[in-house]
Amino acid sequence: MGRLNGKVALITGAAGGQGAVEAELFAREGAKVVVADINEEGVAAVVDRIDQFGGEALGIVLNVTDDEAWAAAMEQIRASFGGLDIQVNNAGILSLEGIAKIERAEWDRVINVNQTSVMLGLKHGAALMREGGTGGSIINLSSTYAHVGSGAAVAYQASKAAVFIMTKTAAVEFAPDGIRVNSVAPGIIETPMTREVLAAAGPSHPDITRTPLQRAGQPHEVANAVLFLASDEASYITGAELLVDGGRTIT
């Protein structure tokens, strides 16, 4: 408890899945949490849960692809909490189309939500962190799909590989301001994003059979890694990618 005492933390895609678990964990660790998502009802529910255990949270409806909405969100955070210390660029969508079938509109949609949004988040989040003058920590959600081919999911894989390298270039750019930038690459995790594919394939899903630990991960197992990178315990770690994948990428 108390690993994020006194910090203000923004989490995108925080209405469900891993983001919601991270929002609650961060609040339990003492952070004032900004719960941001396109899903208004989901945002309200997560803020309610945090209120119920005496944590502090602010809900913001934010479409991460919208530059102006990012600027407005930063204004709201400045007005409510006076600054920003931690940001988790977690919002994302899955698309399983391969190269032969994918339509241009689907490609654009995935690249916008998973990749362009991270550039916007890095830009706006770091600007507010710089105002505070005490540095910060940004964590981007990449994926094992940034590292291994699946034979499908071309836009998703391209977007996550972009997140991997944007993390490294941002880490260099922001280092003089004391802002650390890292990524977490989950393997297959049981969330609403993967519910259907996991239900259809069960334990024979290739991302499980190719995982040495032979199971899907749980959202709290990713959240714990994100928490570590967010906290001052990771004060000398920047530009790193932490794999939380049951060994999926080592075989």
Ligand X SMILES: NC(=O)c1ccc[n+]([C@@H]2O[C@H](COP(=O)([O-])OP(=O)(O)OC[C@H]3O[C@@H](n4cnc5c(N)ncnc54)[C@H](O)[C@@H]3O)[C@@H](O)[C@H]2O)c1
Q: Which residues are catalytic?
A: 156
3-state SS assignment for residue 136: strand
Q: Using the minimum distance from each CB to ligand X, give the nearer residue, 130 or 243.
A: 243
Q: Using the minimum distance from each CB to ligand X, give the nearer residue, 62 or 229.
A: 62
Residues that bind ligand X (CB under 6 A): 12-13, 15-19, 37-39, 42, 62-65, 90-93, 113, 141, 143, 186, 188-189, 191-194
| R_g over Cα of the chain | 17
Rounded least distance, CB 212 to ligand X, Å: 16
Rounded least distance, CB 134 to ligand X, Å: 27
Rounded least distance, CB 94 to ligand X, Å: 6
Rounded least distance, CB 156 to ligand X, Å: 7
To 10 degrees, what angle do helices 17-28 and 40-52 make?
30
Number of DSSP helices (H) and strands (E) in the chain, helices first: 9, 7
Measured between its terminal Cα atoms, the distance across the chain in Å is 36
Q: Using the minimum distance from each CB to ligand X, give the nearer residue, 19 or 55.
A: 19
Rounded to whole angstroms, the Cα distance separating 211 from 247 reads 6
91 within 8 A of 15, measured Cβ to Cβ: no
Q: Using the minimum distance from each CB to ligand X, give the nearer residue, 91 or 126.
A: 91
3-state SS assignment for residue 49: helix
The single-letter code of the amino acid at 31 is A
Rounded to whole angstroms, the Cα distance separating 25 from 196 reads 26
Tokens of 232: 């001052």
